[in-house]
Amino acid sequence: MKPETCEVVCVHEENVKYVQQNLPDLKGISLIFKALADETRLKISYALTLQNELCVCDVAAIIQSSTATASHHLRYLKDIDLAKSEKRGKLVYYRLADHHVNQLVKIAFEHAKEGEKIEST
């Protein structure tokens, strides 16, 4: 089995210094991945890549939950700016916030599918 660590300590100071100086605050990005790490919220987000918008009742049916549970997850996505909502009459419709979120979810799905192909060979 190949070692997972370096056999000697050799810090490349220039590389480390460059990265440290250019590393942005990652808190917002961390929140995005935390939200999408939840399988239900990821399922909702993926559903919103398939349909531009869905009402809370639709989402509840898709994830096989109560409307309260669906609403809770949708509100979480909205609170961290991954989704937007619009009330029309007595219904509330949700959509992904923008094309970046749509791409992020689709890219993650494609990446996971590639991993499945590798594992099955």
Q: Which fold has domain 39-120?
A: Arc Repressor Mutant, subunit A (1.10.10)
Domain-wise residue ranges, the chain: 39-120
pLDDT of 88 strictly over 90:
yes
Mean pLDDT of the chain: 93
The structure tokens 């480390």 sit at: 16
Q: Output the pLDDT for position 18.
A: 97
Q: What is the pLDDT of residues 29-78, one digit of tens each?
A: 999 999 999 999 999 999 999 999 999 999 999 999 999 999 999 999 99
- Tokens of residue 107, six digits: 């890219």
Q: What pTM was estimated for this model as a whole? A: 0.84
Q: Tokens 């929140």 map to which residue?
A: 31
